[in-house]
A and B are shown apart, each in its own frame.
Chain A
Amino acid sequence: MRKEGLGSIYWERFRQNPLSLAGAIVVGGMLIMALLAPWISPYPPDKINLKEILQPPSKKHLLGTDELGRDLLSRIIWGSRVSLSVGFVAVGISCTIGLLLGLISGYFGGKVDNLIMRIVDIMLCFPTFFLILAIIAFTKPSITNIMVIIGLTSWMGVARLVRAEVLSVKERDFVLAALSIGCSTPRILFRHILPNVLSPVWVAATLGVAGAILVESSLSFLGLGVQPPTPSWGAIITAGKDNLEIAWWLTLFPGLAILITVLGYNLLGEGLRDALDPRLILERRR
């Protein structure tokens, strides 16, 4: 009963903020677009048509065509698959690492905690983009590598968040109760503590997807990301920038797609943060 009550409070608060709702709608819309790409895109994304190169937006090609006569709208729709999958997988990796290290660090404390937190400090010293670029230069630019590399270089924030939460949660009575009835350490960590530290992780994950999409598009823009002919928003912009003077649409629209998607995830994340903030719940109940 209580859980349901809490859920509806969250939803109630989330609903009251029009910006969060807008974020949720954008995120949902983008997901549907990515899932339905083969059915909703007007042309195949890599269909070359040399008779119709660099066409401005028209009824036939809503967002125009590129230097090979490919339909820009279709490429942007297919590109959402790249952006979203990179975002989700990278964030999945970084949140898993961050959660595990944060749980261990916060629960066990002492030397382990110290070691993990120093590793976090060291990782934070590197300009992340430099580190990612260096690793890509040494491995190979491919969509799988990019997901893994972004994931491996962005877990530090989550680790810190989770650790801080665990430090307060582990002092609570229900953990003591679990200990006293002889629960094993993994059971305490994953069954009792984990569910109670998840809400800031959801926020961080949502914002993380936005960050990962931006990084992926920057890498693809630099030619070190998803390789052509796979349509990626960043790569479309790179290809279009040589024709910027005669075909502005090739630069404008994919960039807008990135902006809107990232904006959507950021708004959703902020909305979740406000909705899940425990301090505000107490205020309301009083």
Chain B
Amino acid sequence: MIPLFLGISLITFVVIHLAPGKPTDLMTQLNPRVSLETRMRLEKLYGLDKPLPVQYWMWLKRLIRMDFGESFLDGRKVIHKVMERLPVTISINLLAMLLILGVAIPLGVFSALRQHSFLDKITTVIVFIGFATPSFWLALLLMYLFGVKLGWLPISGLFSLNFASLTWGKKILDLARHLILPVAVASFGGLAGFSRYTKSNLLEVIRQDYIRTARAKGLPERVVIYKHALKNALLPVITILGLSVPGLIGGSVIMESVFGIPGMGRLFYEAAMSRDYPVIMAVLSMGAFLTLLGNFLADILYSWVDPRIRYR
């Protein structure tokens, strides 16, 4: 964990110094909103007059304190801006993950049990198409179909204009309606990967000796598959779940900017467009830490469900 943390901080530090000349030059030249005073403060914040190792040390200390300075756009503390956006992105991604697991695992099991059947082939084709579909395009098409043509679902934001005046039940319903399309788009790419993975794992496990044993002692096929095989086939899925965190977070940039959702991805996109340098650095490091956290949780979960694995 610690070396990874240091590595992350080092890479973000390198990214800062990618900008030609002093990073503050670039910012101030391209961004008229930045006053000379801000510029001086920024130079002091990053200690640009000091030698590189000292600068890195300062960056590291700020990273630990979560001090990313103030946004160029509105002068607010970057950490506050990020923190108010983070819950939105995390909840949408959690919902997407639940949907992925809920749909992909049954699909994968089905394909594995009826390998080479017509429906398995259809699933394979859909999986390939899922891998190849650009998410922003899918988002636009769904918006057009369900939002514009059919008028069933709202196409942007999280709440309706009259949200405040709604009753509790209606508020939840309103939020849910706004979330359907974004969650569907966020989970689409993952669906393909997970169902494929479940299928290949299950196919592998079914060939194992203990499955033959289970069948030989006369257990019903249902018990063999769902109790003996599936449990073991799903173990590695946990690891993949951890590994898919960066993809989901990265994908939130596109999903949130298409649907106008005020999450971290959109914050990052706006920051990148306006070169709001402190915000970019903050979101980049937070994204990496979230990934680290995801992998860490996956490891813990894995050792919890699989007693053969113990971390010392």
Contacts and interface: CB of A to CB of B under 8 A. Distances in A.
Given A224-B273, A258-B134, A126 B253 contact: no
Interface size class of A (residues with CB under 8 A): 35 or more
Contacts of B309: none
Interface stretch (B54-62, B78-86, B109-117, B137-145): B137-145
Nearest to B125: A19
Nearest to A132: B250
Interface stretch (A52-60, A89-97, A135-143, A196-204): A135-143
A218 B287 contact: no
B249 interface: yes
Contacts of A248: 144
B250 A127 contact: yes
B131 A138 contact: no
B134 A214 contact: yes
Contacts of B272: 133-134, 136-137, 224
A19 B284 CA distance: 39
B11 A123 contact: yes
Interface in A116-146: 118-119, 121-131, 133-139
A124 B26 CA distance: 28
B26 A138 contact: yes
B287 A127 contact: yes
A145 to B, nearest CB: 11
A51 to B, nearest CB: 27
B104 interface: no
B291 A126 contact: yes
Contacts of B132: 210, 214, 258-260, 262-263, 266
A221 interface: yes
Interface string B117-130: 00000000000110
Interface size class of B (residues with CB under 8 A): 35 or more
Contacts of A122: 4, 7-8, 10-11
Interface in B281-312: 281, 283-284, 287-288, 291-292, 295
B15 interface: yes
Nearest to A264: B132
Contacts of A255: 134, 137, 140-141
Interface in A128-171: 128-131, 133-139
Contacts of B246: 124-128
B257 interface: yes
Interface stretch (A2-10, A103-111, A237-245): A237-245
B159 interface: no
A65 interface: no
Contacts of B245: 127
A263 B131 CA distance: 8
Nearest to B20: A139
A204 B253 CA distance: 26
Contacts of A267: 128
B260 interface: no
A120 B295 CA distance: 15
B11 A266 contact: no
B140 A222 contact: no
Contacts of B137: 237, 251, 254-255, 258-259
A134 B284 contact: yes
Interface in A217-263: 217-218, 221-224, 234, 237, 241, 244-245, 248, 251-252, 254-255, 258-260, 262-263
A133 B269 contact: yes
A252 B141 contact: yes
A255 B254 CA distance: 15
Tell me whether chain A's interface is mostly helix, strand or loop, or mixed. helix
A262 B288 CA distance: 27
Contacts of A127: 245-247, 249-250, 287-288, 291
Given A129-B250, A245-B144, A218 B280 contact: no
Contacts of A137: 271-273, 275, 280
Contacts of A139: 18-20
B311 to A, nearest CB: 16
A125 B268 contact: no
B251 interface: yes
B136 to A, nearest CB: 5
B148 interface: yes
Interface string B18-44: 111001001000000000000000000
Nearest to B294: A125
Contacts of A129: 250-251, 253-254
B218 interface: no
A12 B202 CA distance: 28
Contacts of A241: 140
Interface in B168-192: none
Contacts of A134: 15, 272, 280-281, 284
A133 B11 contact: no
A218 B19 contact: no
Contacts of B16: 138
Given A125-B292, A221-B254, A244-B148, A266 B134 contact: no
A125, A131, A244, A263 interface centre (most CB from chain B within 10 Å): A125
Q: What 7 pairs across the A-B complex have the smallest Cβ distances?
A: A129-B250, A122-B7, A255-B137, A127-B250, A262-B132, A127-B246, A263-B132
6 contacts: A125-B8, A130-B268, A138-B16, A251-B141, A258-B132, A259-B133
